[in-house]
Amino acid sequence: MKLSTHQYRILLFIISALCFIPFLGNAPLFDWDEINFAESAREMIVTGDYARVQINFQPFWEKPPLFFWLQVASMKLFGISEFAARFPNALFGIITALTLFEMGRKLKSNQLGFIWACCMIFSFLPFIYFKSGIIDPVFNYFIFVGTWFLYCCTKIENKLKSRNYAFLTGLFLGLAVLTKGPVALLLAGITFFVYWAIQKFKPILSFLNGCYILLAILLTTFIWYGPETIKNGTWFLEQFVTYQIRLFTTPDAGHGQPFYYHFIVILIGCFPISVIALKQVFSKTNNLNVNATFLQWIYILFSVVLIIFSITTTKIVHYSSLCYLPLSGIAAFAIDKEIQQKVKWSLFGKISYAFIGGLLGLILLLIPLVGMNIQQLVPFIKDPFAVENLKAEVNWTYFDLSCGIIWLISLTLCVIYLHKKQLKKALVIQFAGMAFSTLTLLTSFVPRIAGYTQQAAVDFYISKQHENVYIETLHFKSFAQYFYSQKKGISSNEMLHSKDPQGYYNIDTLRNWYLNGEIDKPVYFVLKSIHLKEYANNKELKVLGQKNGFVFLLRNPKQ
């Protein structure tokens, strides 16, 4: 039965909602980014100051406020919780699926649009990323839609329509800037310049349309940058530029990965679309039967993002997540062509597909097996903190094996149907197996992993929500102590004793006051057990207990 355009939209809405909304609050937020952003949104609610992003009630200059406004709206609707912090991305997962459908439909057909949306929904990392509380899903959506309208602007000859597209380009790129900063303009600008260079610098964008784009960007970003600059000067822009330079030149602790890091992340993490797209790139017949100009745009955007974030010294999994959108498009165009032409996959293509998918399936199978036999691994682990983490009471069951088993079964059936040139059946089985396995991963594995890594600390913070105390970490960076203790604000004593010699807020200065100064109320400290010896001679610190590698200390004010 052939579906109408409206029926496709309804079907995609239901599919994406069922995939992205359930179980959003099933696991605690993870340090750093998820808790950082949720805490900034919570502090907006606490202070009533929605114009300035804060963390620990101090200016947080690394990010503009749009994503936090979305989280605030969600928290107003659902209450301050993990579900509310992650809901904006689930909502944008639905919006993204519907948007990709509309793009594919306008380029060629409803079938292409539906395949494109499904490629984005039913790939491993993209599926997870729309159920997270990080900024990137919203940021990437605005950049990609802005790039789409920029493509339309350069393609349409009608002057009125072209100007409308120019304005929409600036609007969405401006929203991207309000979400994560001017790096959005860098990515879109380089993409445009590379495409222009490929066209041998022929006129593709009129001067007037360029002015419309810039005007729309300025008007959109002025919503926040304007009043902020007028009120407080250029401090945000200066600090943001400094932060971006550090990001590109200095690796954050634990994030200085090799150049090829994001290539591996995309290849394995974006299965199955990564293998399908890669197969198409190296195909002898690279005709995808869609607008070749648009294909150039998404190939360029994918390459620009991958190269830029491979050059940066700080490498985190989600930094290359903008690649997911063009990658899903390349894969969708390839699938659409192969369905029409009944293309037979080569032996190498099927082996590559089975190898990458099998690798992920084995990992999903091994995780619960390792969990059920975790104590047998302890003698081989050299990190004493990790050894203590693994003592957490986390119960794995044989049902958890279903995650990897279903993945491997669906993969096997998919390869069989690929061999039979029945690509539709192959992908339906693969997508269904991927959805079940990834939902199991998120609802079962992730809370258990949190049980090892941070649950003991989170439970401690929650237990102090109604006490008039200070809570801080020692020797490790975290934002969980603010979010889960529901900190109400920063006291005048904290402000007074947090200033460094230059008069700026400094968390290390504040921690020193907590440890050695004349405090006005009890202070709880959380640190890793490997650092406990450093405080053995401090008679004012009382050890309250230890759990799963974390030590809980108390310092009371002097009587």
Return the bridge partners of 59, or none.
54
Which of 432, 453, 474 corresponds to the end of one domain? 453
Return the bridge partners of 542, or none.
554
Mean pLDDT of 34-53: 95
Confidence (pLDDT) at 92: 98
Residue 1 has pLDDT above 70, yes or no: no
* Residue 541 shares a structural domain with residue 443: no
Residue 142 has pLDDT above 90, yes or no: yes
Q: How many domains does the chain have?
A: 3
* Residue 378 shares a structural domain with residue 335: no
Confidence (pLDDT) at 111: 95
Q: Is the distance from CB of 524 to CB of 495 less than 8 angstroms?
A: no
Residue 236 has pLDDT above 80, yes or no: no
Over residues 436-470, the pLDDT tens digits come to: 999 999 999 999 999 999 999 999 999 999 999 99
Confidence (pLDDT) at 300: 94
* Residue 471 shares a structural domain with residue 449: no
For the chain, first and last CA: distance in Å?
80
* Residue 433 shares a structural domain with residue 478: no
Tokens of 224: 């926040």
Q: What angle do CA 131, 137, 140 make, to 5 degrees?
A: 165
* Residue 52 shares a structural domain with residue 163: yes
Task: Kindly calculate the radius of gyration of the chain based on its CA atoms and give it in whole angstroms.
Answer: 25
Mean pLDDT of 283-288: 54
pLDDT band at 289 (very low <50, low <70, confident <90, very high): very low
Q: What is the mean pLDDT of the chain?
A: 91
Over residues 91-100, the pLDDT tens digits come to: 999 999 999 9
Over residues 487-496, the pLDDT tens digits come to: 999 989 889 8
Contacts of residue 71, Cβ cutoff 8 Å, sequence gap at least 6: 37, 38, 41, 84, 85, 88, 133
Mean pLDDT of 119-132: 96
Mean pLDDT of 102-127: 96
Other CB atoms within 10 A of residue 108 CB: 18
pLDDT band at 285 (very low <50, low <70, confident <90, very high): low
**d(C-alpha 180, C-alpha 243), whole Å:** 12
* Residue 298 shares a structural domain with residue 392: no
Confidence (pLDDT) at 249: 62
Confidence (pLDDT) at 315: 78
* Residue 405 shares a structural domain with residue 528: no
Q: Is the distance from CB of 259 to CB of 308 less than 8 angstroms?
A: no
* Residue 304 shares a structural domain with residue 398: no
Q: Is the distance from CB of 31 to CB of 478 less than 8 angstroms?
A: yes
Over residues 173-229, the pLDDT tens digits come to: 999 999 998 899 999 999 999 999 998 999 899 999 999 999 999 999 999 888 878
Tell which wins on pLDDT, 20 or 59.
Answer: 20
Over residues 252-261, the pLDDT tens digits come to: 545 557 888 9
Are β-strands 523-528 and 470-474 bridged in parallel, bridged antiparallel, or unpaired?
parallel
Which of 327, 343, 359 corresponds to the end of one domain? 343
Confidence (pLDDT) at 95: 98
* Residue 437 shares a structural domain with residue 473: no
* Residue 412 shares a structural domain with residue 491: no
Mean pLDDT of 413-426: 92
Confidence (pLDDT) at 147: 97
Are β-strands 54-55 and 58-59 bridged in parallel, bridged antiparallel, or unpaired?
antiparallel
Q: Is the distance from CB of 444 to CB of 400 less than 8 angstroms?
A: yes
* Residue 516 shares a structural domain with residue 380: no
Percent of the chain whose predicted confidence (pLDDT) is above 70: 94
Residue 2 has pLDDT above 90, yes or no: no
**d(C-alpha 103, C-alpha 100), whole Å:** 5
Residue 291 has pLDDT above 70, yes or no: no
**d(C-alpha 162, C-alpha 143), whole Å:** 19
pLDDT band at 313 (very low <50, low <70, confident <90, very high): confident
Which of 430, 453, 476 corresponds to the end of one domain? 453
Of the candidates 397, 400, 403, the residue with the CA atom closest to the CA atom of residue 433: 403
Return the bridge partners of 546, or none.
551
* Residue 376 shares a structural domain with residue 295: no
Containing domain of residue 243, as a range? 5-249+257-343
